[in-house]
Structure formats: C-alpha cells, structure tokens
Amino acid sequence: MDKKIRYTLKIFRNIVAFFIVCMSTIVSASTVNLSPVNDARILDEDGDGVFDSNTLNPSSLSIRHFDGILTEKSVMTFDLSALQGRQLTGVSLNAYVVGYTSSTTNVYVKAYADDLEIDLADATYSATIVGQYNPVSNGLSEINIPLSTALIQSILDSSDSLSLRIESDLSTNTQLGSKSSSFPLNLEVSYVDYTSINSINDGKILDSDGNGSFDTIVPSPVQLSVRNFSTLREVSVSNFNIDETIGMNAQQALLHITVSGIANGTSQVDIYGFNDNLSLDLEDATNAGLLLGSYDPTALGLGSHTIALDTDNLNTLIQSGGSLTLRYASEQNAANTQLGSLYLNNAAFLELDLVVAPPEALPPVANAGRNFQVDSMATATLDGTASSGTDAPIVSYSWQQVRGSKVTLTSTNEAIVEFVAPEVTRGKYWYLTFELTVTDSNGMRATDRVSVRVAKN
C-alpha cells in the first residue's frame, strides 16, 4: 500500500475514534404524567389558627385568607413507586387556574414525603418550597409550574409518595382545578430511560501459531473476528467507558452488534465481561470474565442484531464505573465469524435501562453478653437480648455450646436461655463457651460467643 494512502487512512481512523469517544454516552429520557391519588382542601373554619376540617376530592383546590389569617390550604398526593430508582431530568405541575382575586399574590408549591392519605396534619407538615406561580399574571388558563428537580429527586430517593401543598401569604385567594373538576391537574416527570454507551476501543487478539499463547494484537481492525482453528485462535474485545453507571443497576441490558461475516459450521459465540482498563493488551484474551451472553451467528445471519445480557453478572461489573471490556470468543473448532468494528463506525454499543442500585443490606449485630462466672451446680443465664437488627429485625436466635463439659440448655432458640452449671471440685474451675447466632428477616446472620467460668466457692 502506498505510504501516502496508509497515512491518510491513519488520520481517518483517528478522526473516527475521536468522534466516537466524544459521543460515547447518549442518554435518552422518557416522560410520564401522574394524576393525584388524592387531593383535598384543609380549613381553619373559625380562624383560630388551628386547621380543623378537610374536604377530600373537592371541585377545586383553594387558598384563602380572611382577616389576614390563612384559613385554607390545599394538598395533593402522587404515587411515585413506578419511578423508584430513576434519575429525574425534569418535574413540573400542569394545572389550570380557575379563580383568583385582585389581591392575589404569589402562590408557593411545597413538597414533602408523608403518605398517600390526606389528613389535618398535612396542613402543617414540614415542607420545602419547590416552585411558585402568580395566578394574576397567568390569568384563568392552563399553567405549567416548573418544580425543583433536585428536591423532588431527594424525596423520590427515600419515599414512594409525594405530597404537594399550595399556600400563600398576604391576602391571596385563588383556586386551581382539582382531580374531580373539569380541569384535572397532573405531575409531569421526565427521567432517564436508557443510556447508550458506545465502545471507544476495540481490537483482535491472536494466537497466530496455535501454541495456546496469544501473541498478537490488532487494534481498531476493519472487522472484529472470532476464529478457532488448530493452527490459529482469535478473540476480539470491545472497551467501554462506564463512568455513567456509577452507583446504578441495569434493569435490562442490550448489546447491539453487527454480524459482518459467517463461515459454514460456525455456531455459538460467547460474550464475557470484565473490568480492566480502556487499553488493549494480550491479557484481555484470557482475563477472567463473567459470562454475559451468547449468540449463534449462523442463526442470526448478517446484519444488525440485539443480544440480551445477563444483568446479574453485568451489575457486578458496572456499579463502580471505570471501564468494561467485552470479549467475544468461541470454543467451536471451526468457528469463523466477524463483527463490525470502530474502524467502519459499526462497532458494538450497550443500551442500559439504569436505576439507582439499592444499598447493600447490612447483617444484624449478635451480642451474647459479657463473659461471667457462675458457682458450681448453680443456674446460669445466657442473654442475647442486646443483639440488634441493622437493616431488618431479628427473627430468630440459636444457641449452641462449643466448648467445655456438656450442659443442657432450657432452650436453643430463645433470646434468653438457662443451664445448670456442672459440678466442680473446690480449687478447680472449668470454662464453658456458648455461641449465639441471630438471623434477621432478610436472612442475614451474625454470631457472637460468651465464655462462662465455673468454680466452686
């Protein structure tokens, strides 16, 4: 090949690689509109500063002041359980102003997490301002009230429900449409749906002489190959920057590939994943990996295809971010197939439906009590009631003796058990050791031991 042509191809390859790095992560969003589960007006009917009645699902949501006293607020509740784990990108309240007076000023939207029921306590429940609007400026019409995405996200991260309260100071009197009116309101929530991550480095790794040792790397080839012959073995790898997935779990993981060549007799290709770095080296050919999926090129045929990956294995690799390497390999003796590559801009890319990873459950704390001494032939008590659950309550206790002269416990599955100490001659003593195992409702266990010295006074 002419030197000038080779140089031109090298520049083209670098430009393509740079473009792909810049576009390595593409985030798509979805929007959902949530109707209130409940809404209500809460009143201070006698103006004494104490809210004393509420009207569920009224014809409108009102704010009223009389004699300078705020006598009416309104509350609406939304079920956020379908959004648990999602990363929000925007929140707004879509409503309709159905009434106001000339003295009406700004109305504040306050948010808090309580439950989906509305009672008198909702009128004074501690809440944070997440938005505001001015009915006079808006007029009697539809209104879109932007709410603080960060504050709503903080509520979503800890609760399945959201309560919004509208209230105002000064002499505001105004109404919004309600769940039961001709102008029902809704909460519009946008959230990250799928994250597409493009590979930013790929290559072929060969055992060119068939001696079982991989010896050659071909970075950014025209095609990625999977070959397995008696005198040649070849695997291919794709590297992904997965910093976007830190602290996340994939509910679904799809790998998009392009099958660009198939030889007769080729069947299963396996896809392994591991964390290494974003460069290519010979170790990538044999680095221990988790099996994420498989495909049959012959059955799929040429063209673009989607492979569902094992999310259980994948989630152990992506939560910490960094890099993810996928290796394509086959154990078939006559395997010979090709994949698209970065060089021709049809490389593999991952499509992940990401949610916040749940925190790891912590085990309970077992406490068998302090070591103590007991007289020969006296009744001794083992007390495990100081044990405690961390993320879940303790549901069972189990005692067993692990050292010393055998004694009989009054029970082995109670928090407090007793036994009669063995007989010991004066001037002698024995040590008995007991182990307590506690189990919480998550099935997690913890153990602790207590030592009892038996002596005759």
Residue 33 shares a structural domain with residue 129: yes
Task: Tell whether 205 and 338 lie within a shared domain.
Answer: yes
**Which residue has 């009143």 as its token pair?**
43
39 and 112 in a single domain? The answer is yes
Q: Which residues contact 120 (CB under 8 A, 6 or more apart)?
A: 42, 51, 52, 53, 54
What pLDDT is stored for residue 21 in this prediction?
A: 37
Q: pLDDT, tens digit, for every residue of 5-21? A: 333 333 334 333 333 33
Q: What is the pLDDT of residues 71-126, one digit of tens each?
A: 899 999 999 999 988 889 999 999 999 999 888 889 999 999 999 999 999 999 99
345 and 297 in a common domain = yes
The highest-confidence range among 170-174, 317-321, 352-356, by mean pLDDT, is 317-321
Residue 115 and residue 135 in one domain: yes
Output the pLDDT for position 361: 79
* Interval 93-102: pLDDT, tens: 999 999 998 8
User: Which tens digits make up the pLDDT trace of 234-285?
Assistant: 999 999 999 988 888 898 999 999 999 999 888 899 999 999 999 999 999 9
Residue where a domain terminates, one of 326, 356, 386? 356
282 and 387: one domain?
no
Q: Is residue 207 part of a domain?
A: yes
Task: Name which of 44-53, 278-287, 353-362, 392-401 the model is least confident about.
Answer: 353-362
Sequential DSSP letters for 68-94: TEEEEEEEEEEE-GGGTT--EEEEEEE
User: HSE on the CB side for 106, CA within 13 Å?
Assistant: 8
Q: What's the pTM value of the predicted model, to 2 decimals?
A: 0.63
Q: What confidence category does residue 33 fall into, taking pLDDT thresholds of 50, 70 and 90?
A: very high
The parent domain of residue 94 ranges over: 29-194
Proportion of the chain above pLDDT 90, given as a percent: 70
SS3 441: coil
Residue type, 134: N
Does residue 235 sit within a domain? yes
The answer to whether position 363 is within a domain reads no
Integer Cα distance of 166 and 176 in angstroms: 10
Q: What is the mean pLDDT of the chain?
A: 89
Q: What is the CA 56 to chain-centroid distance, rounded?
A: 35
